[in-house]
Structure 1
Amino acid sequence: MFALDENAVSQAVVRWLEDQGYQARAIRAGQHGIDVAAWHPETRHRWAIEAKGAASSKKGSRRIDRPLSDGAAYGAVSKALLNTIFWTGITTMRDTSIGLACPSDRYFDMWLDRIEPACAVLGISIFRVGTDGEVKCSPKHPVDRPAPLLTPQWPMPRSLQRNFELPPYED
């Protein structure tokens, strides 16, 4: 059975964003930073998206093209949710739409369905990527986060700055 790795999920979201008129790019799985960053040249709107895959992206892994188990999908969705919640408190990202992207399969969809109401409250969009590369975003339009959230405001960590220069943020 074919399963999408993190790189395939990221690239599908990049294509979807480019179709919407954004300039977008993705970093390779395993690198620190925002997995998919996008900027719309006309509206100046930004996206920051955390991606997770259903298979290993590591060359030589026995898990390449093998889908994750229920527990592993839970772990991937949990990490993506935690990262995106953290991003909502980064001062320089206050006007950036935040999303998480995962494969659309039995296990990922089960966990994404469970967190979707909380994501809606937090202003975090969910991108579901089918094995055919089709992307469904919920909600489709950029969302506004409640302002201000009851979280401390953080400076942009250096590890996130690696892929977010469309155009550069100013601290």
Structure 2
Amino acid sequence: MIRIFLTGYMGAGKTTLGKAFARELGLTFIDLDWYIEERFHRSISDLFHERGEDGFRQLERNMLHEAGEFEDVVISTGGGTPCFFDNMEYMNRQGQTVFLDVPVEVLFRRLRVATQQRPILQGKTDEELRTFIEGALDGRRSFYGQARYRFDGSRLEDRHQIAESVSSLRRLLEL
């Protein structure tokens, strides 16, 4: 039975690496945000807006606990998932946890082109976006750092880099 949780900031590559890794190992891939949206037939931003942060985080925790019972799965968590309740402790108990550590400049480059898909980033200048990423990442590092493994997620820009990263992660996790 394999259960792997990928954590890290938005834009770290959790979904990109998670999909490729799950495919390579013949595992099921679950993006927790997509899982929540599918279950509730609402977007994450709508759920967040309707329930407030506390209500959304409780729902997210419940869905993490549900998905965290599945076997032979790679789960990509939301960027904030590890930072609430006992979510990191739970993930560490349930399976292997991997923090995709990515430098601020790489996150900035990736997120700069995705601001329209991420409402929290909309309307920010480049400097505001960089400052926002740095601040949020600083506030979350202590949670991300509780993962059993740290993995460099900065090399996920093309198929070749993704394939190399999949191989590296497989060696790291000894799978």
- Same fold (TM > 0.5): no
Q: Larger RCO: Structure 1 or Structure 2 (Cα < 8 Å, ≥ 6 residues apart)?
A: 2
TM-score under structure 1 length normalisation: 0.36
Query: By percentage of residues, which structure has more helix?
Result: 2
TM-score under structure 2 length normalisation: 0.35
